[in-house]
Structure 1
């Protein structure tokens, strides 16, 4: 069997791992073995936090909608229930943006929903 020399491939892989862990502290950015472990953990956290980011965004939209609806004397859950009954197809993201940027439009939607009850 022929001998396989893989010095350049291994060096490239190690260089890439060290480049990815550039901002880490102490040996995690200097030594390959600990840098590789640090990199694997960082990638795992990145994967998880991409999902958590969506969760946090939805949570923020709900808080904004709730605070906007409470100004007009209705709770968030009642508001969402009335939206569903009146078949208004606006998601929470759009409602939160309306509550922040166009409070008059949000008020109109709220009145439309309450009237259909």
Structure 2
């Protein structure tokens, strides 16, 4: 049986890791042993932060909506409650964009949400 030489495979694997480590500092960019662990760790951070990015953006949209809705005399939670009761299904990202770029349209949405809420008691 013929002998199997694996230099080509190893070299290809190493090249792949070194390419992923491009831009790293010191030995981590050109020594396979250091690069491999650094790349593995960086991939873990990338995976984790792709999830966190969604969380961060949602929080941003909510803060923007809260600020925009308060100008119309409502709070964020009352606004979302009003939207649900009026049957308006628009996500927070779209509402945030609407509040920034189309204030008149957003004001109309706020009025729809307000009309779906029960009248507040006069204090």
Give the TM-score range, shorter chain: over 0.9
Measured in 2, the distance between the counterparts of 1:83 and 1:101 equals: 20
Aligned to 2:108: 108
Aligned to 2:64: 64
- Structure 1 residue 2: Cα displacement: 4.2
Instruction: After the TM superposition, list the runs of 4 or more consecutive aligned residues in structure 1 that deviate by more than 3 angstroms.
Output: none
- Structure 1 residue 61: Cα displacement: 0.6
Bigger Cα displacement from structure 2, 1-10 vs 56-65: 1-10
Aligned to 2:32: 32
Aligned to 2:12: 12
Measured in 2, the distance between the counterparts of 1:114 and 1:12 equals: 63
- Structure 1 residue 15: Cα displacement: 1.0
Measured in 1, the distance between the counterparts of 2:66 and 2:77 equals: 8
Measured in 2, the distance between the counterparts of 1:16 and 1:2 equals: 28
State how many pairs are aligned: 117
Measured in 2, the distance between the counterparts of 1:113 and 1:46 equals: 39
1:82 aligns with 2:82: yes
Instruction: List runs of 5+ in structure 1 lacking aligned partners.
Output: none
Query: What is the Cα-based RMSD across aligned positions, in Å?
Result: 1.0
Instruction: List runs of 5+ in structure 2 lacking aligned partners.
Output: 118-123
- Structure 1 residue 116: Cα displacement: 2.4
The TM-score, its normalising length taken from structure 2, stands at 0.91
Aligned to 1:73: 73
